[in-house]
Amino acid sequence: MKIKDVMTPSPTVCVPGTTLAEAASMMLESDCGMLPVVSADALVGVVTDRDLYIALATRNRRASEMTVGEVARGPVWTCAPDDDVHVALATMKEHRIRRVPVTGFAGTVLGVVSVNDLLLAVGPKKQLPGGEVLETLKGICAHPHPTAHVSVA
């Protein structure tokens, strides 16, 4: 099964100058948790709902005063539309990410493949084994370090 068979095509994208308020509105409107960030039509980063939240919680600035370019993360791991879905699964597991931009010629964003897309491709009459997706989810969700236990008095 190829990435192009399961990806979400033509995702909503933003530019580095997009404000966090605009990005949040775009995510709400598009029902997504990640926006590819493009410059001159090429992928330069990604910004997630988590990135927005952490920036807003730690920088003591309004969402309308900060730009995506200030908080977008890199490096960006991508895949191609003709890659096998196992490439996306391996990338997600290795880098502990839930969404992978799908890029074409010169870094043009063609789509996004998410854990949700892959889960929907699992089934008795489908080509993707559920066990492999489950192992990827376990890898994504694994804690890389021991979590601190907080006592509530």
Residue % of the chain over a pLDDT of 90 = 69
Residue among 42, 141, 132 nearest 84 (CA): 132
User: Exposed e or buried b for every residue in 72-101, given b needs 16+ CB within 10 A?
Assistant: beeebebbebebebebbbebbbeeebbbbb
Q: Which domains does the chain have, with CATH numbers?
A: 3-140 (3.10.580.10)
The pLDDT tens digits for 109-153 are: 999 999 889 888 776 555 665 666 666 665 666 666 555 554 454
Q: Say which DSSP state 10 is in.
A: S
pLDDT at 1: 87
pTM of the predicted protein model: 0.82
Each residue of 3-16: pLDDT tens digit? 999 999 999 999 99
Q: How many residues does the chain have?
A: 153
Residue type, 107: G
Cis preceding linkage at 75, omega within 30: yes
- Quick check: helix, strand or coil at residue 64? helix
pLDDT of the residue at 153: 46
pLDDT digits (tens, 9 = 90+) for 66-116: 999 999 977 899 999 999 998 999 999 899 899 999 999 999 999 999 988
